[in-house]
Structure 1
Amino acid sequence: MQKKQKSDTYLNALEELEDIDTEMKTTLCTYIRNHEYLLRARPQTIQHDDFHPANLLIHKERFAGIIDFQRMDWGDPVHDLHKLGFFFSRISVPFTRGG
């Protein structure tokens, strides 16, 4: 399963980090492993994988497109939304919430 492989890659990278408290790492890894079953029913499609304001084209105050597809990846389309809170909330909280 592609999503499981991606999750494992991220978890392995987390486990290799040295600047994170060991207890925090264990808590995060345990939480993720205990909830991996939620991935099974999720769709798997091509995703942009780098969705943030700098990659949106706006023309005359309207959405005109998306650029920068170098990081396209195969996975859950909800993964594209995980950066909304980091990048968009400073610009538009309603957009971040889907409104």
Structure 2
Amino acid sequence: MEKKLDWKNERYLACGIRFEHDDLMLAYIEEHRHLIENRPQSFQHGDFHCGNIIIDGDGNPCIIDFNRIDYGDPWEEFNRIVWCAKRSIYFAAGRIDGYFDGSVPDEFWDLLLLYISSNTLSSIPWSIPFGQKEVDTAVEMAKEVLFWYDDMKTSVPCWYLEAKKDGSKLEYS
């Protein structure tokens, strides 16, 4: 996993596109990379977010887009939850709470921010071949991530706290 963090950082730094306060994400990654040591490993979808969930003819949710399958920390699979939170903070919070059966361990949040930071930075060079609109989307998401995490001062995103305030919208069966 450390090689993956390094590769993503290197690609970002070499791409020539920067955003204000990117140094905060880069510093967070360096200061928290030790958290990935001895993490469990499992099969990963690699691109799990609400954009890769479709509903079939019977109303069942189906997961698509398995071209990024990987092996790594199961919690890394949450690294694209930013796209879900942008769509619905309740869905995103429900994904986390559902995964942990309502008891999210404290150590999850620091790791989540590490994975989100790394993925957010790497999405910028990834977006370049797809044109300026995709680059703008990636840069805007990076700015939004900084906002959600109060410029990297907190590891629990404000969208999660907001969703939890209104518990009536978060019902689990």
Q: TM-score, normalised by structure 1?
A: 0.73
* RMSD (Å) for aligned C-alpha atoms: 2.3
Query: 1:7 Cα deviation (Å)?
Result: 0.7
What amino acid maps onto 1:78 in structure 2?
W
What amino acid maps onto 2:6 in structure 1?
D
- Counterpart of 1:97 (choices 93, 98, 105) is 93
- Contact 1:52/1:88 (CA < 8 Å) preserved in 2? no
What amino acid maps onto 1:48 in structure 2?
H
Q: Equivalents in 2 of 1:62, 1:72: separation in Å?
A: 22
- Contact 2:84/2:91 (CA < 8 Å) preserved in 1? no
Give the corresponding residue for 2:3.
Answer: 5
Residue 96 of structure 1: SS of its match in structure 2?
A: helix
- Contact 2:49/2:84 (CA < 8 Å) preserved in 1? yes
Q: Equivalents in 1 of 2:38, 2:60: separation in Å?
A: 34
Q: Equivalents in 2 of 1:95, 1:27: separation in Å?
A: 27
Shift in CA distance, 97/13, structure 1 to aligned 2, threshold 3 Å: same
Shift in CA distance, 38/8, structure 1 to aligned 2, threshold 3 Å: same
Which ranges in structure 2 are unaligned for 5 or more consecutive residues?
Answer: 95-169
What amino acid maps onto 2:36 in structure 1?
L
Number of residue pairs matched? 94
Which ranges in structure 1 are unaligned for 5 or more consecutive residues?
Answer: none
- Higher helix share goes to which structure? 2
Pair 1:80 & 2:77 matched: yes
- Contact 1:53/1:88 (CA < 8 Å) preserved in 2? no
Percent identity between matched residues is: 32
Shift in CA distance, 56/12, structure 1 to aligned 2, threshold 3 Å: same
Q: TM-score, normalised by structure 2?
A: 0.46
- Contact 2:53/2:63 (CA < 8 Å) preserved in 1? yes
Query: 1:9 Cα deviation (Å)?
Result: 0.7
- Higher strand share goes to which structure? 1
Pairing of 1:1-99 with structure 2 (within 5 A): 3-20=1-18, 24-59=21-56, 60-63=58-61, 65-90=62-87, 92-98=88-94, 99=170
Q: Equivalents in 1 of 2:59, 2:89: separation in Å?
A: 17
Q: Equivalents in 2 of 1:95, 1:72: separation in Å?
A: 23
